[in-house]
Structure formats: C-alpha cells, structure tokens
Amino acid sequence: MRSLLIFVAYFGICFLPECFVSGLTFSTMQNQKAIQNKLLKEYKKSLRPIFNQDLPVTVDILFLFRKMHHYDVVSGLFEFTGGIRLSWRDFSLQWNPKDYGNATATRLPIDEVWIPNIGVRNPAEREEFMQIEIAGFSVEVTSKGVVHLRNSGLIKMMCQSDVTYYPFDSHTCSLVLAILNYNSNEVKFHTKTQVEESSDFKDNGQWNVTVLGSRISSAAVSVHLEIRRRPSFLVVNIFLPVIFILAMNTVVFLLPVESGERVSFSITGFLSFTVFITILTDQVPHQSNPLSILSSLFAFQLANSTMILICNVLVVNLYHRTSNINSSCLLAFVRLTRRNTRSKAPVLKIDPKVHPDSDCREPNDDNEFDNGFTWKDVASVFDKCFLFAFLSSTFVPIFVFILYVSHRF
C-alpha cells in the first residue's frame, strides 16, 4: 500500500504538469518570439504600411491633457504634459493567432517598425517644428495588423496672452500637431479623432485648464485649450491692499492739520501705491494691445493720488494763512457750504461802490469782508469737499471694474 502511494505521488509530480501545459491556449514566450521573428524578418520600415502606395495611410490620433506645469503670461511660454495615442493599420504585421498559441497581440520596438513622426507646429523654441520624443517606447501590434502607439512627454509651446481682464483673465491656446516626415497625400489623420482630458489629470493651483475641443484636417490637428487664472491669490495679496492704500490716501482730509503729519501721510500712501503698481507691471505683458483694464485703473488712481497730495498741500497752506480773506466768491462758497452747520451765518456787507454786475469784488480800505470767517474755516470747508470728491473718484471706478469683470468671470 505504501509503495502504491509513492507511485501515485511520483506520477502526479512528474507527468501531470506536462499534460496540463500541453493543453494550454494562451501565448507563451516561445510564441511571442516566433511572432516577432516572423514579422520583422523581411520588414522594411522605410515603406509606408499600405499595399497601394498611391493611397495615404490613415492615422487615428487621440490627444490627452495630463498636467499643466507653467504658463508665463509675460513671455507666452506654456509648458504642460500631454499624451498622444496613435493607431494605424500595417498590412505587413499580420499573423494567424491559431498558429501561435492564440496570441492576438505582441509588442515591437519602436525603431523596428514604421511610425508617423508627430511634431508641434507652434513650439516655444526657435525651430519651425518640435518633434515629440518617442525614443524608448514600444508599439502594440494586434494579429490584424493594427498598430497602437502611446506616448507622453513635456510639451512647450507659445500661447498669445490676453490680460484685458487681469487678474480675471483667460487665454485660449491652440496646440497644432502635424506629421513631419510626410505630406497630406501620404499620411492623413482620421476625421473622427477626439480630444479629452486624461483620467489622471492633475490640477494646477494657479491656473484652471479646460480642453475646448479640436479641429482636424488631413495633415494637422489643432487642440484648443482654455487657460483661466485662479484670481484668489492676486485679489488677496495685490488688489485688496491697493484698495486699502487708496482708502488711506483719501481719509487724509480727516486728519487734523495741527498734527503736522498730513503731508508726510499723503507721501507715504503715494509711495506705497507706486510700489504695488511696480509689482503689477512685472506680472503683466509689456504690450499695449490689449492693455489691461486694471493697469488703466491703476494709472488713473496714481493720478488721483497725485491730486490728493497736491490738494492736501493746498489745504495746509490755506490753514496757516494769517491775512484777511479778500475774495467775496470764496466767502460765499464757505457760507454756502457751512450754512447747515452754523446757526447764525454772518451777513455779507455789500459795497455800493462796486458795480452791481460784478460777482467777485475786491475789499475797500475798511476791510468790509472781515465778517467772522478765517482761513481755518476755509481749510475746513475744502477738507470736506475734497474728501467727498476723492472718495467718489477713488471707489466709483473700482466698483465699476469689479462689477464688469465679475459679470464676465
């Protein structure tokens, strides 16, 4: 009995695996070697893979957008990782799966078979074309002769920037892929090619990229991408500080003249605003067409800040005057402005010697315009007028800009 068990165990170990292997239906390494030897034995990769050489080879192309690396708005350089999937039929790469263990696919080195060289027609470099690197890749070949090539890599291209609505700007770029080593009569793209985002697409913290679609011709495919800025960082770190500085410049007219700090306060605010304009200048393209609306707004606010500084100096000068007020127009303006704040306004004396048609009269020797108003009162009135005027000129354009760009964004 023991001898029988030993015999059965020996038979199972030695003979049963060989019996199962002989009945396998999947491909083995020997099958793959045989397929590759057969396909590459008399293969000529210099010939286009089509029986009738007068007809073009049809190539299906699929572009995948994987990851955005960098977009320089000033120079227009756009760097991203993209994938390209190509497929075509090669009548020389066919076999009968039944003769090779039912193997329906194999992989061949890319430098051993015919491939269409795909390049970027609008690259960032000075060359007219930039060939997409495919060294080290392999192609998948099916038993029916269909060849699949999957490739991905870093692509650099130029993208015309449009900063009209900066920092709420968006840019439309077109990546033009073309066949470099053949013309349209020899190789053509399939007209039903689609473009999509890759399933492993990685988002960018500064830009939001959207694939709009593609336009395909027989010799080239144009992939349209939309790059939209994420404005949160710039709004918090540039736009809001500028608004605070402009508000600080405006409220200088609430600061008492007696403090002696009004002029230095205005100069400090003016210089701070100038620094932020310099920062903005470094981040937008140095071009006039199109010109950023924010740049125009900041230029207007720079002129507005200059006027605030000049008016502040004027108010300080009026406040420290000690002479009499010799203009009836100025007195009438002060009385009109302060009539709601003074219970009893002094009555303006009218000189009968002055011509009745004259609005602004000069005082006589008796100083007839000395009616209780001082230059301090005049400075106070101008402070209120300038405060209202510059609050309007500062915040109304900003409010209009926010409404305009937010509606578009």
219-278 pLDDT, tens digit per residue, is 788 888 888 888 888 888 888 888 888 888 888 888 888 888 888 888 988 898 888 888
The reply to whether 202 and 112 lie within a common domain is yes
The reply to whether 114 and 259 lie within a common domain is no
pLDDT digits (tens, 9 = 90+) for 228-245: 888 888 888 888 888 888
> Which of 230, 245, 267 is at the close of a domain?
230
CATH (domain of 291): 1.20.58.390
The reply to whether 155 and 202 lie within a common domain is yes
The reply to whether 85 and 214 lie within a common domain is yes
Total-model pTM: 0.66
Q: Please state, in angstroms and rounded to a whole number, the distance separating the CA atoms of residues 328 and 367.
A: 12
Q: What share of the chain is helix, strand, coil (3-state, %, to 5)?
A: 40, 25, 35
Q: Please state, in angstroms and rounded to a whole number, the distance separating the CA atoms of residues 231 and 229.
A: 6
Cα 162 off chain centre by: 9
Range of the domain at 54: 42-230
Q: Which residues contact 111 (CB under 8 A, 6 or more apart)?
A: 135
The reply to whether 295 and 387 lie within a common domain is yes
The reply to whether 134 and 217 lie within a common domain is yes
Phi-psi region of 2 (alpha: psi -120 to 50; beta: other; left: phi over 0): alpha
Structural domain includes residue 8: no
From 139, 130, 117, select the one nearest 48 (Cα to Cα). 117
The reply to whether 123 and 206 lie within a common domain is yes
> Which of 230, 251, 271 is at the close of a domain?
230
CB 32 within 8 A of CB 106: yes
- Whole-Å CA distances, 363 to 54, 324, 375, 378: 105, 10, 16, 18
The phi and psi torsions of 59 (rounded to 5 degrees) equal -120, 125
The reply to whether 225 and 286 lie within a common domain is no
Structural domain includes residue 204: yes
- Whole-Å CA distances, 12 to 6, 15, 17: 10, 6, 8
Structure tokens at 401: 């800009």
CATH (domain of 65): 2.70.170.10
Positions in the chain whose pLDDT score sits under 70: 1-26, 125-136, 191-203, 218, 285, 287-289, 327, 338-372, 408-409
Structural domain includes residue 115: yes
Number of domains the chain is built from: 2
The reply to whether 53 and 193 lie within a common domain is yes
The reply to whether 378 and 241 lie within a common domain is yes
Structural domain includes residue 176: yes
CB 266 within 8 A of CB 308: yes
Q: Please state, in angstroms and rounded to a whole number, the distance separating the CA atoms of residues 333 and 385.
A: 11
> Which of 182, 212, 230 is at the close of a domain?
230
